[in-house]
């Protein structure tokens, strides 16, 4: 007898901002707007209910967590094209249940060989543009799929891509939040011939409930299904990308694509109150999570509670300290020595913690001395019946990336190259064939040597802040998996930039409506500049593995259209 899929779908009231971004009200801290999804055999969580169902179908047909993750990611490239797609990069953490080991995959691309600081200086550019072909780096997503599939996959790639090909050809209805994202990008899409052709319908952005088709992407997926990653990096797709780059005055060459490789890396960890939390090392910002947790571990947060001004003050200060280090040290380790072990050590956290004053906000925070020798993203997670786990995040960087879309291929090209600095002294300076600083980070945590939490939070600089808030909500404040993601959040902005820009003093604290007014006033009294926002950047998916009861808990939340489904 077949098991019935359990699905968690957003039902909270929808709000609209002036820029067209769909938003919803959130429940109070510690409460959930809906139940946690619980199942025994497998669980899939993603930012689109139909993509989640595709992953669940893969699991039911005998595929494993990696198979399902690839299928879901491909579907999201059709269904949520502003946030992700094969024109962008990918990072993943995989738990292999057979060997009881963790594996990290860095599938981010590198700058073109022709991308030099001298070239930008000759063109009179003080920064790399956020839009257009000069912001491109090599897209790493397809090679990421290849590496995951070669190492762990069990089902043919063509089988995993077929549901996405079908949706791209026949069409997919546009849900609420994604419709809002599309609306906010209308001018960007209209400004590019290819983007207009692929992502607009009769010159207009798709509306809520309208059917969107992308036959060009269906054709691209079909080539990848038949020929594998070489179709993208050496075959017809590669040639079309090079021709398109040449037409627009870009720097991408056939050799840039042909030489691209992903990198398997060892995840980096720290312990937080008995839980071992894993993130990927730079060029991403994942270790900022570990730095913040190490600082916060010195305080009794459970005694303060989630509605305490003291808690939020400590959180903001820990974030400032970690992000000061982020701006100074995080870069491609193939080009710059990054002191990862020192940065994530408990002893280093102790020295940073000493700078925090409970009664006064820090300003002009400098990086420490570890003894050196806006973004749109999609996150998904899968756990299968054998308890293989995949935490995967994939992005175009800004919404629809660079704003450039090859019309015959059907996907936007990322603008991740704009993250490079043009300052020759900065560790994240532009150099040929270098990986830029990255914001997207997957997370995974173990308890007693077994997977406990597979999780991620979307949203640029918000991502490490979101990871920490989720973990504190679960571990310190004992919220369930759904409540931990839906609880009101704070986002701090104004830290020093990975591009070399200085910090903005004490910065700006963005507080969601569920943060009490007396907490806001107390933070202001301590020197924090606080503004109310209807919703911070973010969007969360998570799966909690309960080995004691043999079940999986799945959650998603109201900042996205997402769904958690299990069987």
Q: What domains are there in the chain, each with its CATH number?
A: 6-263+377-410 (no CATH), 264-374+440-566 (3.60.20.40)
Q: Average pLDDT of 63-76?
A: 98
Instruction: List pLDDT tens digits, range 303-335.
Output: 999 999 999 999 999 999 999 999 889 999 999
Residue 447, pLDDT above cutoff 70: yes
C-alpha distances in angstroms, 310 versus 30, 234, 292, 511, 524?
17, 55, 16, 15, 12
Categorize the per-residue pLDDT at 7 as very low, low, confident or very high, splitting at 50, 70 and 90: very low
Q: Mapping DSSP to helix (H, G, I), strand (E, B) and coil, where does residue 533 land?
A: coil
The contacts of residue 144 (CB under 8 Å, 6+ apart) are: 89, 90, 91, 92, 105, 107, 262, 394
**Are the beta carbons of 342 and 281 closer than 8 angstroms?**
no
Q: How far apart are CA 149 and CA 390, in angstroms?
A: 12
Residue 17, pLDDT above cutoff 70: no
Closest CA to 404 of 86, 189, 202: 189
Q: How far apart are CA 64 and CA 78, in angstroms?
A: 22
**Are the beta carbons of 415 and 395 closer than 8 angstroms?**
no
Closest CA to 10 of 26, 28, 31: 26
What was the pLDDT predicted at 167?
98
What was the pLDDT predicted at 497?
64
| Active-site residue, from 377, 378, 405, 439 | 377
Q: How do beta strands 268-272 and 172-173 pair?
A: unpaired
Q: Report the chain's mean pLDDT, rounded to a whole number.
A: 92
Residue 414, pLDDT above cutoff 80: yes
- DSSP of 377-439, one letter per residue? EEEEEEE-TT--EEEEEEEEESTTTTS---TTT--PPP-GGGGSB--TTSTTB--TT-PPPB-
What was the pLDDT predicted at 363?
83
**Are the beta carbons of 471 and 491 closer than 8 angstroms?**
no
What was the pLDDT predicted at 33?
76
> What tokens were used for 250?
């870009």
**End-to-end CA, the chain:** 12
Task: Check residue 293 and report its DSSP letter.
Answer: H
Neighbours of 170 (CB within 10 A): 11
Instruction: List pLDDT tens digits, range 537-565.
Output: 778 999 999 999 999 999 998 888 999 99
Q: How far apart are CA 44 and CA 54, in angstroms?
A: 9
Q: Over pLDDT 90: what percentage of the chain?
A: 86
Instruction: List pLDDT tens digits, range 234-255.
Output: 999 999 999 999 999 999 999 9
What was the pLDDT predicted at 39?
98
Q: Average pLDDT of 215-225?
A: 98
Categorize the per-residue pLDDT at 375 as very low, low, confident or very high, splitting at 50, 70 and 90: low
């963790």: which residue's tokens?
102
**Are the beta carbons of 554 and 542 closer than 8 angstroms?**
yes
Task: Check residue 496 and report its DSSP letter.
Answer: P
What was the pLDDT predicted at 9?
35
Q: Average pLDDT of 116-143?
A: 97
Q: Average pLDDT of 275-292?
A: 97
Q: How far apart are CA 10 and CA 17, in angstroms?
A: 18
Categorize the per-residue pLDDT at 26 as very low, low, confident or very high, splitting at 50, 70 and 90: low
> What tokens were used for 491?
């986002």
Residue 2, pLDDT above cutoff 60: no
Q: Average pLDDT of 198-203?
A: 97
Exposure on the CB side of residue 532, measured as CA atoms within 13 A: 10
Residue 369, pLDDT above cutoff 90: no
Q: How far apart are CA 262 and CA 331, in angstroms?
A: 16
Neighbours of 548 (CB within 10 A): 6
**Are the beta carbons of 58 and 382 closer than 8 angstroms?**
no
Residue 505, pLDDT above cutoff 90: no
Task: Check residue 154 and report its DSSP letter.
Answer: -
Q: How far apart are CA 171 and CA 400, in angstroms?
A: 19
Neighbours of 273 (CB within 10 A): 13
Phi, psi of 170, deg, nearest 5: -90, -20
Q: Is 377 a catalytic residue?
A: yes
Closest CA to 323 of 460, 457, 435: 460
More confident: 364 or 202: 202
């Amino acid at each position: 007898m077949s098991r019935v899929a359990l699905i968690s779908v957003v039902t909270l009231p929808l709000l609209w901002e002036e820029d067209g971004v769909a938003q919803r009200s959130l429940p109070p801290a510690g409460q959930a707007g809906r139940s946690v999804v619980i199942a025994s055999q497998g669980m899939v969580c993603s930012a689109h209910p139909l993509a989640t169902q595709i992953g669940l179908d893969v699991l039911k047909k005998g595929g494993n967590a990696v198979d399902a993750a690839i299928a879901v990611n491909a579907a999201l490239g059709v269904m949520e094209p502003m946030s992700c797609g094969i024109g962008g990069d990918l990072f993943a953490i995989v738990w292999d249940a057979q060997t009881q080991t963790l594996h990290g995959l860095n599938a981010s691309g590198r700058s073109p060989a022709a991308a030099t600081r001298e070239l930008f200086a000759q063109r009179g550019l003080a920064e790399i543009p956020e839009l257009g072909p000069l912001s491109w780096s090599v897209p790493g997503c397809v090679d990421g799929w290849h590496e995951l599939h070669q190492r762990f996959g069990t089902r043919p790639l063509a089988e995993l891509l077929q549901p996405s090909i079908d949706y791209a050809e026949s069409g997919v209805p546009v849900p609420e939040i994604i419709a809002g994202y599309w609306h906010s990008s209308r001018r960007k899409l209209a400004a590019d011939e290819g983007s207009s052709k692929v992502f607009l319908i009769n010159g207009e952005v798709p509306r809520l409930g309208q059917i969107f088709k992308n036959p060009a992407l269906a054709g691209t997926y079909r080539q990848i299904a038949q020929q594998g990653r070489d179709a993208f990096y050496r075959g017809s797709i590669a040639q079309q990308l090079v021709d398109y780059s040449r037409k627009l005055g870009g720097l991408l060459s056939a050799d840039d694509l042909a030489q691209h490789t992903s990198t398997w890396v060892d995840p980096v960890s720290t312990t937080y109150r008995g839980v071992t939390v894993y993130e990927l090392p730079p060029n991403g910002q994942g270790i900022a999570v570990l730095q913040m947790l190490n600082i916060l571990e010195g305080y009794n947060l459970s005694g303060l509670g989630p509605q305490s001004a003291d808690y939020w003050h400590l959180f903001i200060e820990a974030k400032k300290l970690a992000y000061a280090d982020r701006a100074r040290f995080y870069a491609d380790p193939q080009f710059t020595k990054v002191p990862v072990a020192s940065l994530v050590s408990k002893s280093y956290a102790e020295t940073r913690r000493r700078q925090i004053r409970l009664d006064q906000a820090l300003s002009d925070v400098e990086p420490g001395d570890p003894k050196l020798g806006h973004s749109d993203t999609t996150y998904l997670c899968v756990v299968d019946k054998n308890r293989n786990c995949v935490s995967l995040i994939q992005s175009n960087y800004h919404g629809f990336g660079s704003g450039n879309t090859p019309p015959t291929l059907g996907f936007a090209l990322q603008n991740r190259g704009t993250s490079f600095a043009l300052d020759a002294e900065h560790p994240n300076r532009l150099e040929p064939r270098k990986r830029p600083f990255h914001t997207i980070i997957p997370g995974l945590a173990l308890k007693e040597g077994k997977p406990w939490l597979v999780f991620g939070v979307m949203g640029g600089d918000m991502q490490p802040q979101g990871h920490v808030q989720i973990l504190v909500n679960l571990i310190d404040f004992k919220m369930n998996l759904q409540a931990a993601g839906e609880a009101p959040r704070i986002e701090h902005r104004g830290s020093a930039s990975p591009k070399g820009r200085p910090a903005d003093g004490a910065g700006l604290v963005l507080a969601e409506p569920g943060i009490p007014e007396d907490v806001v006033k107390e933070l202001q009294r301590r020197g924090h500049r606080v503004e109310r926002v209807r919703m911070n950047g973010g969007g969360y998916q998570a799966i909690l593995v309960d080995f004691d009861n043999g079940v999986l808990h799945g959650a998603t939340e109201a900042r996205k259209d997402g769904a958690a489904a299990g069987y």
